[in-house]
Amino acid sequence: MKRLALLLGLALLSGLALAIGFGEAPLTGGQYAQAFADGSSGPGLVLWQVRAPRALCAALVGGALGLAGAVLQGLLRNPLADPGVLGVSATGALAAALAIVAGAAAVPGAVEGSALIGAAGAGALLTVVALKVRAPEALILFGVALSAFAGAATALIFNLSPSPIATAEVMNWLLGSVENRSWIDVAWVAPAVVMAGVLAARAAPGLRLLTLGEEAAATSGLSMGRMRVLALLAAAVAAGAAVAVSGVIGFVGLAAPHLVRTAVRGDPGRLLLPSALAGAVILVAADLLARVIPTDQELKLGVFTALIGAPLFALIAWRAAREWRL
């Protein structure tokens, strides 16, 4: 795992360097030199105040989603689980939409805080359900229902919103993007990702034992209730922070664990760090491609990841269906 983490870390650093160095507005060699010599110059502002925080936000959001996906797939023992399936992302987006329609977008951090609270509320509900029921299928069904309800409520906001400007802002949020993010946004998401990582690390031994089955894990002394709470809190904090900064970005939490699962031999405890790094690499690369692809209007990051992730989701489901038939 150390070698895999090192390779992914190097790939992430390379991706960050490319994301900071390249963009829609090309710079000359002299301008790059000026940017490194004087951060307050025009080229310096482009590199360090526009591109750098955007690239770091993409990395942190991708890492959070990759971590959340790995935790949920290990907890539910289901390769199709991710924050979107369990309704955490949709509930955070609903809370953000309510804040936008209420006119709170003018208050710095209000929309982001609302999204984080909404995602945390979803995580709390999922935690209560996890403590009441043992079957992971029941938790998945509850999450699907929560996601459907949050999606319907968001659609209702579109339907009843009296302001086309607010409607456009909500739609922009739902499409997902790290465009125009600042160092303040980096400061928003970074502590939450660290907290989620600590919680996930505490849950990792339990996730590893859970591969033996719940009864075997329980006989080994594992507190199933405590492990579920830690895992769900880790996933909710990570997904909530991601939604708060970038809006809804799907399929990263699904794809990242699958890209590295074979390398860790399916161990859910060892999967967490590589999955987070893979998610960061995916989103940094996706955001860079969304910026440099020549289009009249920049592609939204959530749209771009969905175009790539939806076929992957279908492929995973198809393979799972084949295994079920066997």
Q: Read out DSSP for 179-199?
A: TT--HHHHHHHHHHHHHHHHH
The b/e string for 95-115 (b: 16+ C-beta within 10 A; e otherwise) is bbbbbbbeeebeeeebbbbbb
Classify residue 267 as left (phi > 0), alpha (psi -120 to 50) or beta: beta
User: Is there a contact between 81 and 72 (Cβ–Cβ < 8 Å)?
Assistant: yes
3-class secondary-structure state, position 8: helix
pLDDT tens-place values along the chain, 326 residues long: 678 889 999 999 999 999 998 877 777 778 888 888 887 788 888 888 989 999 999 999 999 999 999 999 888 887 778 888 788 888 988 998 888 888 877 787 788 888 888 888 888 888 888 777 777 778 888 888 999 999 899 888 878 777 777 778 788 778 888 988 889 889 888 999 999 999 999 999 888 888 776 666 666 667 777 888 888 889 988 988 898 888 889 889 888 998 898 888 878 888 999 999 999 999 999 999 888 887 777 788 888 888 877 777 677 667 666 654 44
Which tokens belong to 152? 């319907």
H-helix segments, the chain: 2-21, 29-37, 42-45, 52-76, 88-101, 110-132, 136-160, 164-175, 183-210, 214-219, 224-246, 252-260, 268-292, 301-325
Specify the DSSP class assigned to residue 293. Answer: S
pLDDT at 14: 95
Q: Each residue of 173-228: pLDDT tens digit? A: 788 889 888 898 898 889 999 999 999 999 998 888 887 766 666 666 677 778 88
- Pairwise CA distance, residues 110 & 98, whole Å: 11
What distance in Å separates the CA atoms of residue 188 and residue 198, rounded to the nearest whole number? Answer: 17
Give residue 9's pLDDT: 94
Rounded to whole angstroms, the Cα distance separating 63 from 203 reads 17
Q: What one-character-per-residue DSSP string does 12-81 give?
A: HHHHHHHHHH--SS---HHHHHHHHH-TTSHHHHIIIIIIHHHHHHHHHHHHHHHHHHHHHHHHHT-TT-
279 Cβ contact partners less than 8 Å away, ≥ 6 residues apart: 62, 63, 64, 65, 66, 67, 69, 252, 253, 256
For residues 171 and 151, give the distance between their C-alpha atoms in angstroms, rounded to a whole number. Answer: 12
Contact between 122 and 91 under an 8 Å Cβ cutoff? The reply is yes
Tell me the CA distances in angstroms from 58 to 178, 182, 263, 289, 301, one per residue in order: 6, 11, 24, 12, 9
Check residue 320 and give its pLDDT: 62
Residue 141's contacts (CB-CB under 8 Å, 6 or more residues apart) are: none
Q: How far apart are CA 190 and CA 134, in angstroms?
A: 33
Task: Give the per-residue pLDDT at 218.
Answer: 64
Question: From the centroid of its chain, how far is CA 19?
Answer: 19
**Distance set, CA 85 to CA 21, 72, 81, 157 (Å):** 35, 10, 6, 21
| The residue to which tokens 């505490």 are assigned | 202
Written as six digits, the tokens of 279 are 């998610």
